Amino acid sequence: MFSEQAAQRAHTLLSPPSASNATFARVPVSTYTNSSQPFRLGERSFSRQYAHIYATRLVQMRPFLVSRAKQYWGAGIQIKKLCELQPGEKCCVVGTLFKAMPLQPSILREISEEHNLLPQPPRSKYIHPDDELILEDELQRIKLEGTIDVSKLVTGTVLAVLGSVRDTGKFLVEDHCFAELAPQEPPPALDTDRFVLLVSGLGLGGGGGESLLGTQLLVDVVTGQLGDEGEQCSAAHVSRVILAGNLLSHNTQSRDSINKAKYLTKKTQAASVEAVKMLDEILLQLSASVPVDVMPGEFDPTNYTLPQQPLHPCMFPLATAYSTLQLVTNPYQATIDGVRFLGTSGQNVSDIFRYSSMEDHLEILEWTLRVRHISPTAPDTLGCYPFYKTDPFIFPECPHVYFCGNTPSFGSKIFRGPEDQRVLLVAVPDFSSTQTACLVNLRSLACQPISFSGFGAEEEDLGSLGLGS
Amino acid sequence: MADQLYLENIDEFVTDQNKIVTYKWLSYTLGVHVNQAKQMLYDYVERKRKENSGAQLHVTYLVSGSLIQNGHSCHKVAVVREDKLEAVKSKLAVTASIHVYSIQKAMLKDSGPLFNTDYDILKSNLQNCSKFSAIQCAAAVPRVPAESSSSEKFEQSDLQVSSETQANNELTTNGHSPPTSKQIVQQPKGIMGMFASKAASKTQDANKETKTEVKEVTNVSSAGNKAPGKGNVMSNFFGKAAMNKLKVNLDSEQAVKEEKIVEQPPVSVTEPKLAAPTGLKKSSKKAEPVKMQQKEKTRGKRVELSDDETKETENMKKKRRRIKLPESDSSEDEVIPDSPGDYEAESPSPPPPASPPPEPVPKTEPEPPSIKSSNGEKRKRKRVLKSKTFVDDEGCMVTEKVYVSESCTDSEEELKMKTSSVHRPSAMTMKKEPKEERKGPKKGTAALGKTNRQVSITGFFQRK
């Protein structure tokens, strides 16, 4: 791993100056392809209804589910549409899930005068024991009951259920299955260690100064200023840095200025201006030394709906001088040195977290992989562009590294699929609170967290380093 | 010898200048490789401690290595104080690197100052931030400006093409949007056209319409409108009774900056309505059309001014100040009344909107005499030099000497008269005052020119 490799060289820095100092060359980019073209939006028209996404999603996913159903429940299973169902007959139905949640925020309910409801305060989870699952296909919908975990599933998932319809009109589920993993190309065999650094949630402009030193230490490690020769040599093997969203802090959004009168806020500068200047300087330091991919996140100045478009280069006048800086979409898909990366800034996972009983972000990430859809809750509870031709969030193929940013803590796991696919799942933690980033080794497909700390006034220096116990 | 130089340098930085010397700071200052800077710092610390064991040197180190945490092998990079160094080292499973991070004389409570030092030196060396680094990247070549600008142009033309095609394709779906934009564009034009045309023949009904449209104009062109100048225009038309009301309103508005103009039109628009019953009814009809014209005119002028407000207004401000200064005399003649003084203090503050007010002011200034004379009382109007203290829109207190026209008897009505000779003939023709009133201001300026020097003596006797 990074540390072991770094420790292999002798320590030279606790000694008088030597005549010459080693300089290492950054590993050159051998192959890089940006495959995020499906997430780029050209001309946008919002005059369409969102029903088209669901229609195309079902059409695209149906063949995968049919083949999985046949694989699990036998080739002779009857696949029927909802309109063809006969009572008491065991069959398999493919459809989109809808979860009816009483606690789900509904704007219609809020503004309805007959209820006289006050707006609901935001909660961390909107699940309720009374939630119900409804399966919809092209023409009809039917309520589901039986052996199916209502609290775990979310709206928008396409799945196949095995069971029979009761006389009450509800479908009694015996078993269900997802599309599981898409086919995967085998990962390339690399001869040297190459690393990709994943960071998310820099949170600039947040007002807290503690994370700034951590950010500076991170930049210094990657650009080869910090550390002994061994560490600098290892850092030279970092071939790419991916900033996965939330580069600006939540505080820069200045939401209260929307409610204030214009004459009060006219001459005030947006809080994001200073933060973007800081970000530009950091990006300049990074891109002068390593190729950088910048993904926008929930609090960054770009569009709100998924897929988020790249940040505009005019915001980074200093850093865009370097061609190593690349501004990319969220979600982001690329092939780096032959290894397929796919990741988001975390909005999809956190939205599923709100509407499902799953607690661990890494678990949710794995679940989206199994469902073969990056964000099934879009467009229901997560903003999404009204696609109608294709749903770009369906996995066409299985990536080698699948990450999501801005999770509360670091998590990493190797997941194996039914056809011997091997995926490294990485939950990249929020840097402004955890001071931790992720180093992915492309040769071994392993991930190591790297964390930074300064020292504070209190005696908990060791505790802050995590070395207390 | 060369070795000794850096030692002396570090010594000077730490001891004499009391700086925090981080390895990065030293590397940029001396122009050496970062690793060499780290070694220099270490060398200095060792030697200094050997020579003088009581040396007051605090050192921070950087330690990095791996640690098993939560089942992962976590790589830690930490800046630690010297006293914690051994403890931290012992916890790490594998130590990757240790080196000196910084030297300073004083004990640091937290690592904030270290960051500040690094940030400052980095800011001044942004363009070659990786010059002394241990890693050089061949791909990081700054783009040639021609390339980047051509790519920008390409993007722009792309956007234009796409926006055009988009407009063509989506006119049907977004059919509602272009007409509304056109409407918005036309609306100010219509209002501006209204200003340009002669509004002399407007009736009171038309006045009401213009009032609402003026409100819209203020919403559209609210930038750069100066509130106090507007209030000054209003003051010209009201009698005593309404003055208090207006003063109260304007006092409350003084503290607020120009953005309050949005409120003012409704306030001032309601004012005439309120003032009409309480004020002088005879003059009201006359005052209103005149006021409306001037309001529109001032609106129009202000709208035009708002387009190029900042620089030109500042230049004009400076110009006016320069003109004023030679006029001011040392001896003060009159006691400045406080409350009306405050109110008037606001009114001269923005000179450019004052240039429209001077035009209506000379026009309207004879109004009160005509109003008062219509009441049957004969009062003389005299020009008096008074000094007014006010806070201008930059927040500075300014004292100006201005000529104020007031009647012999105690009058609360003071009108400001600037000695600038910017008379716009077009504006003059818009007014429908009788000629004698027009001559009045002209006489006034001529008289002012004459009595410029003697004001201080004669003014003393005029006020009885």
One-character DSSP codes across B37-85: HHHHHHHHHHHHHHH-TT---EEEEEEEEEEEETTEEEEEEEEEEHHHH
DSSP string, B206-231: HHHHHHHHHHHHHHHT-TT--HHHHH
Q: Compute the distance between CA of residue B202 and CA of residue B209 in angstroms, rounded to an integer.
A: 10
The conformational region for residue A375 under phi > 0 = left, psi -120 to 50 = alpha, else beta, is beta
| Distances in whole angstroms, Cα of residue A106 to Cα of each of A109, A142, A357 | 5, 22, 20
Judged by DSSP in three states, A218 sits in helix
* B143 vs B78, residue with greater confidence: B78
Q: Which residue has the higher pLDDT, B374 or B92?
A: B92
The mean predicted confidence, pLDDT, of chain B is 59
SS3 sequence of A9-42: CCCCCCCCCCCCCCCEECCCCCCEEECCHHHCCC
Q: How far apart are CA A371 and CA A178, in angstroms?
A: 5
Chain B residue numbers touching A42 (CB-CB < 8 A)? 162
Please give the model's pTM, rounded to 2 decimal places: 0.65
Chain A nearest CA to B40, separation (Å): 6
Closest-CA residue to B41 (of B27, B53, B55, B31): B27
Please list the residues that pair with A306 across neighbouring strands: A384
Q: Hey, what amino acid is at A444?
A: S
Nearest to A24 among B111, B130, B134 (CB): B134
pLDDT of B423 > 80? The answer is no
CA-nearest residue of chain A to B109? A457
Distances (CA, A) of B208 to B45, B189, B212, B249: 83, 19, 6, 21
Instruction: Give the position of tokens 């620089």.
Output: B311
User: How many whole angstroms separate alpha carbon A309 and alpha carbon A317?
Assistant: 19
Exposed, middle or buried: residue A43 (CB in 10 Å: 0-12, 13-18, 19+)? exposed
- Least confident range from A216-220, A277-281, A416-420, B158-162: namely B158-162
Q: Which of A159, A163, A271, A157 is nearest to A207 (CA)?
A: A271
Residue scoring higher pLDDT (B350 or A263) = A263
Quote the DSSP letter at residue B127.
G
CB-CB contact of B345 with B391 (8 Å): yes
Beta bridge partners of B136: A25
Range among A114-123, A221-230, B309-318 rated most confident: A221-230
- Given a contact cutoff of 8 angstroms between Cβ atoms, the answer to whether B437 and B366 are in contact is yes
d(CA B168, CA A161) in angstroms, rounded, equals 47
pLDDT for residue A326 is more than 60: yes
Give the whole-angstrom CA distance, residue A313 versus residue A453: 31
What is the H or E stretch that residue B325 is in? helix B310-327
What is the per-residue pLDDT for B164? 41
C-alpha distance from A266 to closest chain B C-alpha (Å): 8
Q: Give the minimum alpha-carbon distance from B25 to chain A in angstroms, rounded to a whole number.
A: 12
* The pLDDT of residue A102 is above 80: yes
Alpha carbon B387 to chain centroid, angstroms: 26
pLDDT for position B404: 73
Widest Cα–Cα separation across chain A: 89
Note the pLDDT tens digit of each residue in A10-36.
777 777 777 777 788 888 877 888 888
Closest CA to B59 of B35, B83, B39, B91: B83
B98-148 pLDDT, tens digit each: 888 888 888 888 788 888 888 888 888 888 877 888 888 877 777 776 554
> How far is B57 from chain A, CA to nearest CA, in Å?
17
Report which secondary-structure segment, H or E, holds B25.
Answer: helix B23-30
Give which of B89, B90, B97 to mutate to test A binding, by max A Cβ within 10 Å: B97
pLDDT of residue B406: 63
Q: How far apart are CA B168 and CA B178, in angstroms?
A: 11
User: What's the pLDDT score for residue A394?
Assistant: 92
- Tell if the CB–CB gap between B259 and A266 is shorter than 8 Å: yes
* One-letter amino acid for residue B308 of the chain: D
Of the partner residues A23, A412, A448, the one whose CB lies closest to the CB of residue B134? A23
Q: Are the C-beta atoms of A279 and A248 separated by less than 8 Å?
A: yes
pLDDT at B176: 41
Q: Which comes out higher in pLDDT, residue A253 or A327?
A: A327
The nearest alpha carbon in chain B to A213 belongs to B115
A241 in Cβ contact with A293 (< 8 Å): yes
Q: What percentage of chain B exceeds 70 in pLDDT?
A: 35
Residue of B nearest to A11 (CA): B97
Top-confidence residue, B191 or A230:
A230
Region of B36 please: left (phi>0), alpha (psi -120 to 50) or beta.
alpha
Maximum mean pLDDT: which of A276-280, B225-229, B360-364: A276-280
**pLDDT over 60 (residue B352):** no
Distances (CA, A) of B356 to A44, A254, B262, B284, B314: 48, 39, 19, 22, 16
Which of B96-105, B207-216, B344-353 has the highest average model confidence (pLDDT)? Answer: B96-105
Mean per-residue pLDDT, A209-227: 87
Q: How does strand A91-100 pair with strand A132-136?
A: antiparallel
Chain A: residue nearest B78 by CA? Answer: A453
Which of these ranges, A7-11, A168-172, A287-291, B437-441, has the smallest mean pLDDT?
B437-441
Residues of chain A neighbouring B39 (CB-CB closer than 8 A): 12-13, 15-18
Q: Under a CB-based contact definition with an 8 Å cutoff, are residues A284 and A319 in contact?
A: yes
Choice among A265-269, A273-277, B15-19, B413-417 with the minimum mean pLDDT: B413-417
Residue B267, pLDDT above cutoff 80: no
Q: Under an 8 A CB cutoff, do B162 and A42 touch? A: yes
pLDDT band, very low/low/confident/very high, at B55 (cuts 50, 70, 90): low
Contact state of A213 with B111 under an 8 Å Cβ cutoff: yes
* Set of chain B residues whose Cβ sits within 8 Å of the Cβ of A45: 170, 173
pLDDT at A154 over 70: yes
Residues of B in contact with A326 (CB under 8 A): none
- The verdict on a CB contact (< 8 Å) between B97 and A22 is no
Q: Are the C-beta atoms of A63 and A105 separated by less than 8 Å?
A: no
Half-sphere exposure of B33 (CA within 13 A, CB side): 20
Residue B396 CB neighbour total at 10 angstroms:
9
Go through the domains of chain A in sequence order and give each one's CATH number: 2-8+27-42+183-254+268-451 (3.60.21.50), 50-106+123-177 (2.40.50.430)
Instruction: Out of A228, A281, A450, name the one closest to residue B126 (CB).
Output: A281
Contacts of A85 (CB under 8 A, 6+ apart): A91, A93, A142, A165, A171
Token output for B61:
């180190």
Contact A61, A394 (CB under 8 A): yes
Q: What is this model's ipTM? A: 0.84
* Helices within B336-434 (DSSP H only): 338-346, 351-354, 360-364, 367-374, 425-430
Residue A224 scores a pLDDT above 60: yes
Radius of gyration in angstroms for the set of CA atoms belonging to chain B, rounded to a whole number = 36
Q: Are A23 and B135 in contact (CB under 8 A)?
A: yes
Residues of B within 8 A of A14 (CB-CB) are 42, 98-100
Instruction: Specify which of A226-235, A426-435, A454-463 reaches the highest per-range mean pLDDT.
Output: A426-435
Q: Is the pLDDT of residue B273 over 60?
A: no
SS3 breakdown of chain B: % helix, strand, coil, rounded to 5?
60, 15, 25
- The dihedrals phi and psi of B303, each to the nearest 5 degrees, come to -65, -45
What pLDDT sits at residue B444?
A: 45
**For residue A355, pLDDT beyond 50:** yes
Instruction: Work out the widest C-alpha separation in chain B, in whole angstroms.
Output: 104
Distance CA B127, CA A288 (A): 9
* Inter-CA distances, A309 with A244, A272, A351, A357, B40, Å: 13, 18, 19, 30, 47
- For the beta carbon of residue B326, count every other beta carbon within 10 angstroms: 8
In chain B, whose CA is at the least distance from the CA of A289?
B137
Mean pLDDT over A235-250 rounds to 90
- φ, ψ for residue B112 (rounded to 5)? -55, -50
Task: Kindly give the residue spans of alpha helices, DSSP state H, lying in A413-460.
Answer: 431-434
CB contact under 8 A, A323 and B109: no
Poorest-confidence range of A67-76, A220-229, A458-467, B388-397? A458-467
Coil/strand/helix, residue A50: coil
Under an 8 A CB cutoff, do A213 and B77 touch?
Answer: no
Interacting residues of A139 by C-beta distance below 8 A, sequence separation 6+: A81, A82, A83
* Range with lowest mean pLDDT among A44-53, A73-82, A209-218, B425-434: B425-434
Rounded Cα–Cα distance for residues B360 and B351 (Å): 14
Collect all residues with Cβ–Cβ distance below 8 Å to B368 and sequence separation of at least 6.
B236, B413, B415
Does A169 score more than 90 pLDDT? no
Residues of B with CB below 8 A from A209's CB? 112, 115
Query: Per-residue pLDDT for B276 more than 80?
Result: no
SS3 B116: helix
Residue A337 pLDDT grade (very low, low, confident, very high; cuts 50, 70, 90): confident
Cβ contacts of A266 on chain B, cutoff 8 Å = 223, 259
Average pLDDT, chain A: 86
Pick A451's closest partner by Cβ from B38, B40, B74.
B74
Chain-chain contact of A18 with B98 (C-beta, under 8 angstroms): no
3-state helix, strand, coil in chain A (%, to 5): 25, 25, 50
Contact check, Cβ <8 Å, A448/B74:
yes
Least confident span in A226-230, A289-293, B216-220, B231-235: B216-220
Q: Is the pLDDT of residue B411 over 50?
A: no
Please determine, for residue B216, whether its predicted confidence score (pLDDT) is greater than 50.
no
- The residue in chain A having the minimum alpha-carbon distance to the alpha carbon of residue B22 is A226
Q: Is a pLDDT exceeding 90 seen at residue A133? A: yes
Burial of A443 (0-12, 13-18, 19+ CB in 10 A): middle
Strand order in the sheet with A422-429: A32-34, A332-336, A339-344, A401-407, A422-429, A411-416
From the list A24, A228, A264, which residue is nearest B97 (CB)?
A228
Measure the CA dihedral A236/A240/A243/A244, to 10°: -130
Q: How far is CA B463 from the centre of its chain?
A: 40
Please give, rounded to a whole number of angstroms, the shortest distance from the CA of A27 to a CA of chain B. Answer: 8
